Structure 1
């Protein structure tokens, strides 16, 4: 029986916690490679196991994901009453209690399928805002049959190119993010592989390429990028920098460009195939199987291998497809974050997993950013969608120097790093303290926002009510950690939403707090006696202050100066098994 990881259990619990408080549609954000399929499987088993008459559907857009999600459920529940409704998989189990469906097949079959209680949408960032689309028409038809149907969204990217966040705006399908576990979280915990970036000499000239719908005009982009000399230069650079890499995945700007890059790679004597939207199903399956078995070293594609494609061995990504879409950028980079642990090494703790990755055949995944995506969007673990009027600024970066020794006599590795980094995570090179502000360079930007964070023991911790400065803002909790005589502050947001709420809930659970989560700063203060102390915090310099990056809870309950002597709310909360339905 498959066992949920701690963050997967937290994601599932967050959905039920949300439904205990509100009746809306929750959104779960989990980085590529952190197991959305297993989280869905466990959630479905819990729903149908607790409410045997409930019907559940999982909808997505590609056959690989439909099959993967279906098999994941059978892994945790071998005799689940589940079926598949997908033309691509030659199954039309319309009356199954649990249906795994392809939206292209079922978008006009709502009446045939009938009553659905919970609709889970995998890769829900692909649901358009427009009403007259397959997803929207299908959802409206299901709601006409059952107005009380709940919708759960799962995605690695909670935003679209054209309309911002999925949980914002009048027409937002989802009410709020109830749980978030990002790339930085997965890398920190040893569940994802680190990305590493090197500057590239080859760049694309996009002058004159217009924009349409928030992204580049496709035909103009193809013409600007697909030039023989540029392709030859980019491939030569990939071959040189990827000499010690086993599985290359190249994202290209159009079908013709993908084939041209493939031909140039083959000219270097390297095995390479191409997958496009027109590749026959059997040929696509054969190419992917050979790629995973290392019989093919490189695969080019026109951005069709961004979702539904999983190959842990990918250790080089060449970004040859410029885009203004932050979601597409994250999806492309996510193809390289799955780890390959060293065989036989224990994986029970964070330290063990990190050591197993470092000792394995893929200690990191190299990103060659010819498209300057990192300059456009920033480090992949810190991406936020730009709102209109925020401009097109680039991220400040620096290069780990290969020609200059640090104070210990060590030379750097050439990796692109965020300007705030003081110790290179790739080689340990120590940068001197800056004398002036570091500005962006022309060579690119770092793929991860790693800094020289340090763990510090906490001598005491206090919570205080922090009143919002304006009427349109929400009050929060100010946390003050004393590190000897030094005070370090951070803020938590019970009552907020999105990433801030996920961070707050994670702090509460990690420190032993009981569910349901506090709904306001005042309730947090009243219930703080539930929490363990904080033994250490992980901090990094941020201007004149420090940023808290992590914490280690203690083994005993905290003694807070601001805690009331007796703090017993006496408030009861109904258990799930006392309710008729979970929402």
Structure 2
């Protein structure tokens, strides 16, 4: 089957072709929302380029989707290089996972074009991707719906509670350290969502094309989302972990027990199974932080199963297939299914865990944003204060305040807020 690209997909593909053909060595970003059809865009780009193309994916599921879309074009000179598939074939267009390529980088020196799907997962400080890119000496194109990355950071405040920054000159820096020592300035572990073009070191330099979630919603390409804030977990009692990038597990677990979150999740799921409309939800996907909540849900709800990182491969495939077929009505999961889970019929997501990561929040909600003819709207049910923290995903917008300086803005807690490159 030959796919017909939508106008924005054609524009994204065209921008990528121009990016690769123009001079310069700056890496570029395509920002396309979840459900925008990134696999189709990648397929079109790879098909149109006139040299060897290496496409990286973070998981087997996403690799399989991207490879299948290219094959649908009738392209035969493509292959898979990934241990997950027991395949190590190199062709003009090769879909790969970085772990499989890392030990054989010399075999990929002839590749002219490098594309990275879900590129927000690249650690600019180090790791397999950075090692490969350091050796590649070629332009890189990244695709993502979430062009930001959570980073640990110290926030310095003066005696009046105002944020202060360390001076760059040696004398000013010494005075700053003296004030820290005398407690005129205090430091606190916080985190910053850094836009990918503003990380240090920097992997990506510019956004070459983007389309807004709101645009795709207005044109009917994404499913409408209904938000239900049913938070039972007060945020004030939660402590941060040592990095400042997430909530402390012990503090979180104690709060869960105090508010009896396990029983609350069960009661919410039972209500969702018997909504006032009388029309049952087609699939309920629950995200929990700890195994205990998912296990309790399975014991209390008929037709509920769970997934975690420890679930065996064959059991995982069976459970996902049974969920998609409707045999399993409720699927609880711990730390999985945030990306690469393509199930357009899914109409209900329950967030039974808090997060400080906008990327995780967006990816979780994105499981319900894919449109389907039988789905009037996706329901987002939040039990842990995430909607108040980040707002609705359709209100997120990418803004270039001045040339090359990008931020993500949203409406959180009824206020228009900058959500990247600021302290959380």
With normalisation by structure 2, the TM-score equals 0.79
In the alignment, which residue of structure 1 is the partner of 2:65? 68
- Partner secondary structure for residue 31 of structure 2: strand
For these two proteins, the number of residue pairs brought into alignment is: 359
- Does residue 292 of structure 2 align to residue 256 of structure 1? yes
**Separation in 2, partners of 1:373, 1:165:** 20
Q: Which moved more, 1:223-232 or 1:375-384?
A: 223-232
1:89 is aligned, of 85, 88, 97, to 85
- Offset of 1:256 from its aligned partner? 3.1
- Offset of 1:279 from its aligned partner? 1.0
- Offset of 1:185 from its aligned partner? 1.8
In the alignment, which residue of structure 1 is the partner of 2:39? 37
Is the Cα contact below 8 Å between 2:197 and 2:203 reproduced in 1?
Answer: yes
The change in CA–CA distance for 1:136 and 1:221 in structure 2 (over 3 A counts) is: farther
Is the Cα contact below 8 Å between 1:61 and 1:103 reproduced in 2?
Answer: yes
Is the Cα contact below 8 Å between 2:235 and 2:385 reproduced in 1?
Answer: no
The change in CA–CA distance for 1:105 and 1:379 in structure 2 (over 3 A counts) is: same
- Offset of 1:178 from its aligned partner? 1.3
**Separation in 1, partners of 2:257, 2:297:** 9
2:387 is aligned, of 343, 349, 374, to 374
In proportion to residue count, which structure has more helix?
Answer: 2
**Separation in 1, partners of 2:80, 2:17:** 26
Is the Cα contact below 8 Å between 1:221 and 1:253 reproduced in 2?
Answer: no
Q: CA RMSD in A?
A: 2.5
Is the Cα contact below 8 Å between 2:28 and 2:205 reproduced in 1?
Answer: yes
**Larger Rg over CA atoms:** 1
In the alignment, which residue of structure 2 is the partner of 1:233? 264
1:198 is aligned, of 208, 220, 228, to 228
Is the Cα contact below 8 Å between 2:233 and 2:255 reproduced in 1?
Answer: no
**Separation in 2, partners of 1:175, 1:105:** 27
The change in CA–CA distance for 1:176 and 1:17 in structure 2 (over 3 A counts) is: same
**Separation in 2, partners of 1:226, 1:312:** 34
The change in CA–CA distance for 1:238 and 1:230 in structure 2 (over 3 A counts) is: same
- Offset of 1:368 from its aligned partner? 0.8
**Separation in 2, partners of 1:239, 1:183:** 31
- Partner secondary structure for residue 395 of structure 2: coil
- Offset of 1:205 from its aligned partner? 5.9
**Separation in 1, partners of 2:208, 2:257:** 42
**Separation in 1, partners of 2:368, 2:102:** 32
The change in CA–CA distance for 1:12 and 1:260 in structure 2 (over 3 A counts) is: same
2:150 is aligned, of 161, 177, 195, to 161
1:174 is aligned, of 204, 225, 241, to 204
Q: Counterparts in 2 of 1:470-549, with a 5 A limit?
A: none
Is the Cα contact below 8 Å between 1:250 and 1:300 reproduced in 2?
Answer: yes
The change in CA–CA distance for 1:106 and 1:219 in structure 2 (over 3 A counts) is: farther
Q: Any stretches of 5+ residues in structure 2 without a counterpart?
A: 152-192, 275-279, 409-414, 416-424
The change in CA–CA distance for 1:226 and 1:38 in structure 2 (over 3 A counts) is: farther
In the alignment, which residue of structure 2 is the partner of 1:553? none
The change in CA–CA distance for 1:336 and 1:23 in structure 2 (over 3 A counts) is: same
- Offset of 1:276 from its aligned partner? 0.9
Q: Which moved more, 1:255-264 or 1:114-123?
A: 255-264
The change in CA–CA distance for 1:33 and 1:226 in structure 2 (over 3 A counts) is: farther
The change in CA–CA distance for 1:258 and 1:209 in structure 2 (over 3 A counts) is: farther
**Separation in 2, partners of 1:258, 1:185:** 36
The change in CA–CA distance for 1:118 and 1:324 in structure 2 (over 3 A counts) is: same
The change in CA–CA distance for 1:134 and 1:18 in structure 2 (over 3 A counts) is: closer
- Partner secondary structure for residue 85 of structure 1: strand
Q: Counterparts in 2 of 1:325-340, with a 5 A limit?
A: 325-340=357-372
